[in-house]
Amino acid sequence: MNEIMIGLLNVVSPFNLLVIASGTGLGIFVGAMPGLSATMAIALLLPVTFGMDPAAGISMLASLYMGAMYGGSISAILLRTPGTPAAAATVLDGYPMAQQGRAGKALGVSLTASLIGGVISSIALLTIAPVLGKVALSFGPVELFAIAVLGITIIGSLSSGSPIKGILSGVVGLMIALVGMDPISGTPRFTFGQMYLFNGISFIIALIGLFSIPQALRLVEKDDAVKKAVSSIKDKMLPTFKELKSMIVTILRSSVIGVFTGLIPGTGGDTACWFGYNEAKRFSKEKEKFGTGYPEGVAAAEAANNAVVGGALIPTITLGIPGSSATAVLLGGLMVHGIMPGPTLMTEHSLITYTLIWAVLLSNVFMFLEGLVLTRAAVSVTKIPNLVLAPIIIILCVIGSFTINNSIIDVFVMVFFGILGYFMDKINIPTAPMVVGMILGMMLDNSMNQSLLMSDGSWMIFLRTPVSAILLLIALISVLQATPLFGFIKKRLKKTTI
Amino acid sequence: MNNLAKQGLASAITLILAIVLYVDSFNLPPAAASLPRALAWIIIVLSMAMFAEAWYKERKKAKVNQETKEPIRIIRVLVFTSMIILYVALIKPLGYFLVTPLFLIVGMAYLKATRLWKAVLIALGFTLFCYFLFVMFLHLPIPMGLFS
Amino acid sequence: MFKKSIWKKAVISGLAVSLMLTMTACRTTNQPAGTSKVESDYPNKPITVLQGFAAGGGSDQLAMLTGPYLQKELGNTLVNQYIPGATGAIAWTQLTKQTAADGYTLSITNTPMLMTNYLMNTEIKYTIDELTPIANVVTDPGILVVSKDSPFKTYQDYIDYVKANPGQLTIANSGTGGDDFFTILQWQKATGLSVKMIPFTGDGPSWQAAAGNKVQASSTNLGVVYSQVKAGNLRALAIYSEKRSDLLPDVPTAKEFGVELVAGSSRGYSAPKGIPDNVKKKLIDSFTTIAKDPAFLKGLQGAALPIDLKVGDEYAKYLKDQETEFKAIWDSVKDTIKK
């Protein structure tokens, strides 16, 4: 208890507050840039923290992570270009809202949901981290396989228009993910002798292409003569109490999903936003509104990805197991500061650890305040004429995708996916399922092969483990829910109860 | 190209892709090949289903009045796409500082987005902004070409 | 359309500029100062360090610990570039085939993956002959760990179980073709026993699978699991080094049980073939100097990484010897692995 209080006192020193505030602001800014993900931002700014004391340095990186998770939604909403992979699901409802002239509201909902998700995960981090940390270890290949299968059912619910097209898009996404070196057999797969493909097709590169290039092309399809719905700046940004009340269940559910997705090593914000979105849709009474500019869709995705921050930090500080790729870089940062990442963080280095935890909690507040200021200004992006915006989006995508691996081939791949995305759009094949497929492909294949190696090829291994059996059952229900059979049973049940 | 032809083309491309990958999977050890083969089968079935669905809808639509879509400027999209490809192809050899403002100015002039002097101003301003953000501030590499 | 939002833009740009100024200020204070002792003007721009593994892994650990000292010594910044994939082969192919040999691009080279990549896959075209080995920095010995509640209390328990259940015990490694994969192969050869190898995607997932009782054991590296063993989350049964480690003096070596096995993974720095001699000398001298810096040694000690400095030709010879050794191991087992 004592360390907790000292940590709090430590964090409220003026210098630490400044560090957290600038870290968060920077995170928002960098997160809004396509191509610059939270992981990359942390890796880039790691050297900046070398001169600070460890507690301040690590706090800065963590608040950067928090800020970036919100920042990604700004460009997702205003430009239909997710700033970070974790904001991909935000596009689905955020951009339609902006088109309807409610960009300010969309950003306000995103900010509020991010705040609640972030605070909940920070509180979980502060209070029940040691208990939750153990969860991270209970996820082995068998459980990860079940999560991947559950994730794949999201593909079905994202393809409401035409299930055939949606599932096709998702399966092609899974297939694309399998290109590259297979770590289980140590053989290159579908690389056709191309060294570039050994590394697989980078998910973030494809994501930038699939979402942003088609958007730029759509902007030049028509003249500006058609007046755009311009968001009024005076329009109330933050959701009203009534609106918040209607979304709070979704936000809380997404926050819990985010914390758990963060906990599990190997899954992070990019997965959590889809799980959050999918569950919100599953439990909603107005399923058909999702994807048409429904604030709850934005809230579901954004609460989940900010809740990942606290969730991913839980196994990081209790066990030294990074819960996401961003926290893996954070652990590397600790080492440079002479702190051995691992279970000793909670004991030997408890002061630094508790300062970090408080910093994460405080960064939410800064994120909210800075978000309010920045967002109000960012809405003015909607006033830029479409035809000016289109080439600017292209530049951001090209530079963003180049800097990720310093590779011009990546940029060509990005443009290729962009043109692909444009054609998919023209014949009404949704791109979102392809993105989900690309996220989950390798996880599905690796965990399946690892599990089958353990069980000598017996598929029963997936049903013998309780966690995986339950997750697979939920997946089965999700699939059945989409079939006419389920509606029939539901109807019958209702009748019999009456 | 009518809708059915577009759908047919898309089905054909995915079908061919799936078959190529299916055949290629025989070069792999059994464990690495099992999932791709299953996925290839699903793609084959779905791409044919997609074509069947489009064909069915097309027949139904013949009776219903086809909704008229707002015309889009196809030529402009094509020219703009070529400009993007050209930009990406030239950025490495010629460098960011030459190609980026050029792309922005030519792009905006072609699209008649704004007056020329404004376009030049926006182009230069944005080029500098990106340079400061990525290179000076984040220390990230961008292709410099002739300027390196 | 633009006019109204001018003040708003001023607010954003004001915020952005002030943030940038803060950060730039932070950066400049960190910039290494003493550039005066550089004879030639190398390095006059930042040096890129290619990393064949994801951020946060063992190879990153080395870069993070070595980077600041090397940076100070060289008088310019080091920029880490992560190109994970194909157990490092992507980065090393880039280093040998696509990188100018000017000393501005180095790579962390990890054994045995550096050689086993191309020994195992004909598609991977680079060889160590296309490198200029600069310096090996650490050698992290292999270690056998089990979960804290595992029935195996000692290495003897483990051996007895494997003897009684040939090919049944599940043991995690960091990926097919990785160091731990080869360590297990060497162990099987040395003992004549067999185990069921489960490849994971890196050292972290490998030991975590053992800690969570998903597999019965994990063959990994001392530096990776040191803090976990210290904290009691994992139990170390044996270490594959010549003699016991100072860090874990209670853990016996495999040799004490009559198993002739010394294995591990070493990490160092290499440049492309044909870098200028003065650049090579400058780099080697820098490594020799920092290896004497007590603060640097303390950092390595703190991260449980045993220093093993070999520079220039000595490192080149070490790599060549390793190549011969691993080729022999692979040739003897490859028919059973690739069914």
The ipTM of this complex is 0.92
| Confidence band for A228, pLDDT divided at 50, 70 and 90 | low
Q: What is the number of domains present in chain B?
A: 2
CB atoms within 10 A of CB C118: 18
Q: What is the pLDDT of residues A251-305, one digit of tens each?
A: 999 999 999 999 988 788 889 999 999 999 888 888 888 888 999 999 999 999 9
C123/A331 CB distance under 8 A: no
A419 to chain B, any CB pair closer than 8 A? The answer is: yes
| Confidence band for A200, pLDDT divided at 50, 70 and 90 | confident
B126 to chain C, any CB pair closer than 8 A? The answer is: no
**Among C214, C217, C182, which residue's Cα sits nearest to residue C87?**
C182
Q: Are A56 and A95 in contact (CB under 8 A)?
A: no
**Of B137, B142, B147, which to mutate for an interface test with C (greatest number of C Cβ within 10 Å)?**
B137
Q: What is the pLDDT of residues A330-382, one digit of tens each?
A: 887 787 777 777 777 877 888 888 899 999 999 999 999 999 988 888 888 87
Helix C89-97, helix C113-120: angle, nearest 10: 90
- pLDDT for residue C214: 92
CA dist., res. A207 & res. B109, Å (int): 29
**Of B24, B57, B84, B116, which to mutate for an interface test with A (greatest number of A Cβ within 10 Å)?**
B84
| Confidence band for A4, pLDDT divided at 50, 70 and 90 | confident
Mean pLDDT of A82-104: 90
Of B30, B137, B141, the CB nearest to C23: B137
Instruction: Show the tokens assigned to C205.
Output: 């997932």
CA distance B92 to chain C (A): 14
Q: Which of B63, B88, B103 is the last residue of a domain?
A: B63
Task: Indicate the CATH number for domain C141-264.
Answer: 3.40.190.10
Examine the domain organization and report whether B109 and B133 are in the same domain.
yes
Mean pLDDT of C299-319: 88
- pLDDT for residue C238: 95
- pLDDT for residue C85: 65
| Confidence band for C21, pLDDT divided at 50, 70 and 90 | very low
Which chain C residues touch A446 with a CB distance below 8 Å?
A: 201
**Of C8, C80, C173, C225, which to mutate for an interface test with A (greatest number of A Cβ within 10 Å)?**
C8
Chain A contact partners (≥3 CB pairs within 8 A): B, C
Domain boundaries, chain C: 47-140+265-335, 141-264
A189 to chain B, any CB pair closer than 8 A? The answer is: yes
Would you mind telling me the total number of residues written for chain C in this entry? Answer: 339
Mean pLDDT, chain A, rounded, equals 86
C window 120-139, beta carbon within 8 A of B: none
C23/B139 CB distance under 8 A: no
Q: Which parts of chain B sit beneath pLDDT 50?
A: none
Q: Are C231 and C158 in contact (CB under 8 A)?
A: no
Examine the domain organization and report whether B99 and B138 are in the same domain.
yes
C15/A373 CB distance under 8 A: yes
Burial of A411 (0-12, 13-18, 19+ CB in 10 A): buried
Which chain A residues touch C330 with a CB distance below 8 Å?
A: none
Share of chain A above pLDDT 70, in %: 94
Examine the domain organization and report whether B53 and B89 are in the same domain.
no
- On the question of pLDDT at C321 being above 80, the answer is yes
Share of chain C above pLDDT 70, in %: 84
- pLDDT for residue C338: 56
Instruction: Show the tokens assigned to A210.
Output: 């699939």
Which chain A residues touch C19 with a CB distance below 8 Å?
A: 22, 25-26, 29
- On the question of pLDDT at C102 being above 50, the answer is yes
- On the question of pLDDT at C10 being above 60, the answer is no
Q: Are A200 and A189 in contact (CB under 8 A)?
A: no
- pLDDT for residue B148: 61
Q: What is the pLDDT of residues C191-232, one digit of tens each?
A: 999 999 999 988 888 999 999 999 999 999 998 888 889 888
- pLDDT for residue A185: 80
C24/B137 CB distance under 8 A: yes
- On the question of pLDDT at C55 being above 70, the answer is no
Instruction: Supply the range of the domain harboring residue B49.
Output: 3-63
CATH 3.40.190.150, domain C47-140+265-335, yes or no: yes
- pLDDT for residue A224: 62
Least confident piece of the model among A364-378, C48-62, C172-186: C48-62
Examine the domain organization and report whether B80 and B54 are in the same domain.
no
Side chain identity at residue A4, one-letter code: I
CA distance A246 to chain C (A): 32
Examine the domain organization and report whether B84 and B34 are in the same domain.
no
CB atoms within 10 A of CB C16: 18
Examine the domain organization and report whether B35 and B58 are in the same domain.
yes
Examine the domain organization and report whether B29 and B55 are in the same domain.
yes
- pLDDT for residue C31: 38
Examine the domain organization and report whether B49 and B106 are in the same domain.
no
Give buried/exposed letters for A420-444 (b at 16+ CB in 10 A, else e).
Answer: bbbebbeeebbbbbbbbbbbbbbbb
- On the question of pLDDT at A247 being above 50, the answer is yes
- pLDDT for residue B4: 83
Of A172, A217, A429, the CB nearest to B77: A217
> CA A177, A178, A179: angle at the middle one, nearest 5?
95
Q: Which of B12, B35, B63 is the last residue of a domain?
A: B63
Question: B33 or A161: whose pLDDT is higher?
Answer: B33
Of A25, A51, A319, the CB nearest to C26: A51
The segment with the largest mean pLDDT, out of A369-378, A485-494, C14-23, is A369-378
Q: Are B81 and A209 in contact (CB under 8 A)?
A: no
Examine the domain organization and report whether B79 and B52 are in the same domain.
no
Of C8, C64, C205, the CB nearest to A336: C64
A187 to chain C, any CB pair closer than 8 A? The answer is: yes
Least confident piece of the model among A42-51, A203-212, B91-100: A42-51
Examine the domain organization and report whether B44 and B91 are in the same domain.
no
- On the question of pLDDT at A437 being above 80, the answer is yes
A window 199-258, beta carbon within 8 A of B: 213, 216-217, 220-224
Which chain C residues touch A140 with a CB distance below 8 Å?
A: 209, 212, 214-215
Of C23, C79, C338, the CB nearest to B29: C338
CA distance A56 to chain B (A): 20
- pLDDT for residue A338: 73
- On the question of pLDDT at C25 being above 90, the answer is no
CA dist., res. A472 & res. C143, Å (int): 36
The segment with the largest mean pLDDT, out of A49-53, B28-32, C142-146, C175-179, is C142-146
